[in-house]
Amino acid sequence: MTLARRAAAQLISAVLVSTFCGYGAIAQATPSETGTTTPAPSPAPSVSPSATPETTEPAPAATPSEPLDPSPGIPAPSAETPATSPDAPAATGTAAPATTPPADTATPPASTAAPASPAAPSPAATDPAAAAPPAAPSEAAAPPAPPPADPIVIAVREKLNDKSFGAKASGTDRDAAAAFYGARSEGPLWVKSGGGFTAAAEAAIGEIRKADDWGLETAAFVLPPAPADAAPAALAEAEATLTLAVLQYAREARGGRLTPLSISPAMDMTPTLKDPKLVLDEVIKAPSADAYLRDLHPKHEQFVRLRDALIKLREPAAPAEPVDEALAVKIPPGKVIKPGAQHADVSLLRRRLKVTAEAGNETIYDEPLQEAVMAFQRANGVKANGFIGKSTRQALNGDEASSKPDPGRDIQRIVNNMERWRWLPTDMGKFYVWNNVPEFKTRAIKDGKQVYEERIVVGLPQWTTPVFSAQMRTIVFHPEWGVPDGIKQKELAPQLRRSSGGGMGIFEDLFGGGGGSSSSAVLRRHDLKVSHNGRPVNPDSVDWNNVDIRRFQFTQPSGPKNVLGIVKFLFPNKHDVYMHDTTAKHLFKQNMRAYSHGCIRVNDPVRFAELLLAEDKNWSADEVDGRFRMGGLNEVKIDKPFWVHNTYFTAVVDDSGKLNTFADVYGYEPRIAAALSGKQYRFETPPQIAEVDPDAPPATTQRRKKQRVTQQTDPLTEAITGLFAN
């Protein structure tokens, strides 16, 4: 080779080396993960391994977001989901799998992994097609194949995919079981490969067979016999059947058998269920499957007491005691008998209550007999006034079918109430208010102990107080009252229409008022102001017969006439229900106290406010009194909102173990009983709701008294401040 050719070859070699090193430098200068550009190093004949940039660590997978505004005292459970209906798909608390980063962002540039020798470049660095991300194959969209599984598990998958298998099972349970076994690579949960059940299976079956003791129905569970055949198909059927039974038990034990809203729109509760996959994961790992299933039931003290009462009622009946002859004495219908009167029925009354008399005085209603009558009235929920009227005669005679002993009905009542306890949150709060509607009582509970109890007035049957849970957030002193739409339409509109020249309405017929006076006079009489879209309106300028009264706002300012009294307690909810004081204090003396439009009136609201603000802010009674003395509308925000639970329990067990029952004021019990058992039961209902005493003297006397009262006070004012207030 000539000297000129040798020089040319060296020059070409140098150019090629420079070209390849420059490519590597360009690749290193691509934008980094943070968006900045790393300057390319000067061309060099080789790349030192120490100069190779480190591979970027992939970002961690996303985790589920935290619940918004977690409720104090009721932590949001990560593995439990609110139940809508037994067949609704249950949402899970697990996070979605992390998305795999694209290859062009997860793979470092080819030049960083190139060998040190510049004479052997990587194909990726020289072939543009190789550098481009490969096209996704069409098979990528297909679902992944199930993991390798035990033959029994494979057979279980086939069983669960067979729609004819477990036809009565909940769709939610079937789907959860199918997903669980579809992802399972281990062996079965409940059966042995050689045949028979595991110890966990035996324990689970034994506990499910005791479902009746927990207010559930054992007969509703399909339990498999022990598989004698070792064939995968036979074992799979037993495995799948028991899995569905365990999931059904877990769902019913935790959240009940019914959807509350199917009973009434006022049963606004959403039971919280445990994730079915978590149930299966936990039950098989638990030290004992039976203990795990028992632990799913509510821990509320009243639930535990009701269960004890249920078991006791189901014990074999003791030998019947001899019938008391006095119970066979019947008091015939008749006029009201007052203390001091002489009447032939008094002698029957003495025999019924076992009260003797001096010879010749058997028909005189004397003081010892009156004391016995009043004691009987108190014990039987009749107003203790000593009058022998219709309700007292019924109680003495046991006329009401619901008052007669009925073990089946009494058991069903407890089962109904246990079902409703399952609808409540598992944790009701460290401190909470419990309003029990049929009992007409409110209580405050702190650390599981009752620290307050008071009488309340609840909604009429046509204006039910709804059942729900919400957090108390505000106490309003000297509140204003905004008239709800229902009261506008049913009570106020008839008065205003008459004042505008309309005809008499039913409420006006009953309560009077209006009397041809102007609309402003009607509103002034009830201390109401009217506005429209925030602007004051002259009521006399409105033709109330031709407008929608709901478009107007009627407000009663704070003051002595205000139907909310001096304080109200707000726990925001879609029902617009709250607790408050009232001017109609006389209603708290009634045994049956369903008189409101749904809101809850408290007998001693001052003490209630003191209790709540002492708990929240550690305020003294004097500090609370200062708020009352301020006058005018003023609010106090609760720093640590606590729960208010409106419930509907007609059976409560007291500290002595006595089961106390209450009238079914809204008629829910027969509906729940029929839905749970398929049977019809008759439960006692309260007497006709009226402020007059059913044992008081005849109606003619009452009408005369009412006429005298009418001359002194406006009857519609009485209606608004009493019966028709919130």
Q: Which pLDDT band, with edges at 50, 70 and 90, does 135 fall under? A: very low
**pLDDT tens-place string over residues 74-91:** 444 445 555 544 444 333
The C-alpha atoms of residue 125 and residue 319 are separated, in whole angstroms, by 98
User: Which of 68-72, 207-211, 675-679 is most confident?
Assistant: 207-211
**pLDDT tens-place string over residues 319-342:** 656 767 888 899 999 999 999 999
**pLDDT tens-place string over residues 169-185:** 888 999 999 999 999 99
The C-alpha atoms of residue 259 and residue 264 are separated, in whole angstroms, by 10
Tokens of 278: 């978590």
DSSP annotation string for 13-62:
HHHHHHHHHHHHHHHHTSB-TTS-BPPPPPP-SS--GGGSPPPPPPPPPP
DSSP assigned state of 91: P
Tokens of 435: 């309003």
Region 94-102: what's the mean pLDDT?
A: 39
pLDDT computed for residue 513 by the predictor: 43
**pLDDT tens-place string over residues 645-699:** 999 999 999 999 999 999 999 999 999 999 999 998 888 777 644 333 333 344 4
Distances (CA, A) of 515 to 169, 490, 491, 512, 584: 65, 18, 15, 7, 25
Using DSSP's 3-state secondary structure scheme, residue 550 falls into: helix
For residue 426, the one-letter residue type is: T
For residue 68, the one-letter residue type is: L
Q: Which pLDDT band, with edges at 50, 70 and 90, does 142 fall under? A: low
**Which of the residue ranges 106-110, 476-480, 489-493, 631-635 would you say has the lowest mean pLDDT?**
106-110
DSSP assigned state of 327: G
Tokens of 675: 């839905």
Q: What is the pTM for the complete model shown? A: 0.67
**Which of the residue ranges 281-285, 298-302, 419-423, 693-697 would you say has the lowest mean pLDDT?**
693-697
- Decide if 673 contacts 412 (C-beta within 8 A): yes
- Decide if 266 contacts 666 (C-beta within 8 A): yes
Q: Which residues make Cβ contacts (< 8 Å) with residue 602, sequence separation at least 6?
A: 442, 454, 456, 569, 579, 580, 581, 608
Region 7-18: what's the mean pLDDT?
A: 47
The C-alpha atoms of residue 178 and residue 240 are separated, in whole angstroms, by 9
DSSP annotation string for 644-661:
EEEE--SEEE-TTS-EEE
- Decide if 642 contacts 72 (C-beta within 8 A): yes
Distances (CA, A) of 395 to 149, 345, 349, 402, 567: 68, 15, 12, 11, 39
Q: Hey, how many other C-beta atoms are within 10 angstroms of the C-beta on 313? A: 15
Tokens of 10: 């060296």
Q: Which residues make Cβ contacts (< 8 Å) with residue 127, sequence separation at least 6?
A: none
Distances (CA, A) of 280 to 24, 181, 236, 286, 596: 55, 10, 16, 10, 47
pLDDT computed for residue 588 by the predictor: 94
Tokens of 208: 């499910």
pLDDT computed for residue 12 by the predictor: 47
Q: Say if strands 634-647 and 468-477 run parallel, antiparallel, or are unpaired.
A: antiparallel
DSSP annotation string for 643-707:
EEEEE--SEEE-TTS-EEE---TTSHHHHHHHHHHS-------PPPP-SS-TTSSPHHHHHHHHH
Top-confidence residue, 91 or 209: 209
**pLDDT tens-place string over residues 590-602:** 888 999 989 999 9
**Which of the residue ranges 58-67, 147-156, 554-563, 617-626 would you say has the lowest mean pLDDT?**
58-67
The C-alpha atoms of residue 1 and residue 7 are separated, in whole angstroms, by 10
- Decide if 627 contacts 443 (C-beta within 8 A): no
Q: Which pLDDT band, with edges at 50, 70 and 90, does 559 fall under? A: confident
DSSP assigned state of 380: T
Indicate the helix (H) or strand (E) that contains 212: none
Q: What is the largest CA-CA distance in the chain?
A: 161
Q: Which pLDDT band, with edges at 50, 70 and 90, does 5 fall under? A: low
Region 270-284: what's the mean pLDDT?
A: 95
The C-alpha atoms of residue 678 and residue 219 are separated, in whole angstroms, by 13
Written in H, E and C, the secondary structure of 245-280 is HHHHHHHHHHHCCCCHHHCCCCECCCCEEECHHHHH
Nearest to 176 by CA among 267, 98, 79: 79
**Which of the residue ranges 252-256, 276-280, 299-303, 501-505 would you say has the lowest mean pLDDT?**
501-505
The C-alpha atoms of residue 641 and residue 338 are separated, in whole angstroms, by 52
DSSP E strand stretches across 341-448? 431-436, 441-446
DSSP assigned state of 183: T
DSSP E strand stretches across 389-501? 431-436, 441-446, 449-459, 468-477, 481-482
Nearest to 493 by CA among 481, 480, 506: 506
Residue 459: strand pairing partners: 596
What are the sequence ranges of the domains in the chain? Answer: 3-53+98-130, 151-297
Task: List b or e across 54-85, with b for residues whose CB sees 16 or more CB atoms inside 10 angstroms.
Answer: eeeeeeeeeeeeeeeeebebbeebeebbebbe
The C-alpha atoms of residue 593 and residue 572 are separated, in whole angstroms, by 24
pLDDT computed for residue 708 by the predictor: 40
Mean pLDDT estimate for the chain:
78
Q: Which pLDDT band, with edges at 50, 70 and 90, does 398 fall under? A: confident
Exposure of 212 in the CB half-sphere (CA atoms within 13 A) = 10
The C-alpha atoms of residue 518 and residue 498 are separated, in whole angstroms, by 9
The C-alpha atoms of residue 75 and residue 654 are separated, in whole angstroms, by 29
Taking 50 as the threshold, does the pLDDT of residue 25 lie above it? no
The C-alpha atoms of residue 111 and residue 121 are separated, in whole angstroms, by 9
Taking 80 as the threshold, does the pLDDT of residue 413 lie above it? yes
Share of the chain above pLDDT 90, in %: 55
The C-alpha atoms of residue 402 and residue 673 are separated, in whole angstroms, by 14
Q: Hey, what long-range contacts does 534-542 have (CB within 8 A, 24 or more apart)?
A: 539/496, 542/496, 542/500
The C-alpha atoms of residue 498 and residue 513 are separated, in whole angstroms, by 9
Taking 80 as the threshold, does the pLDDT of residue 233 lie above it? yes
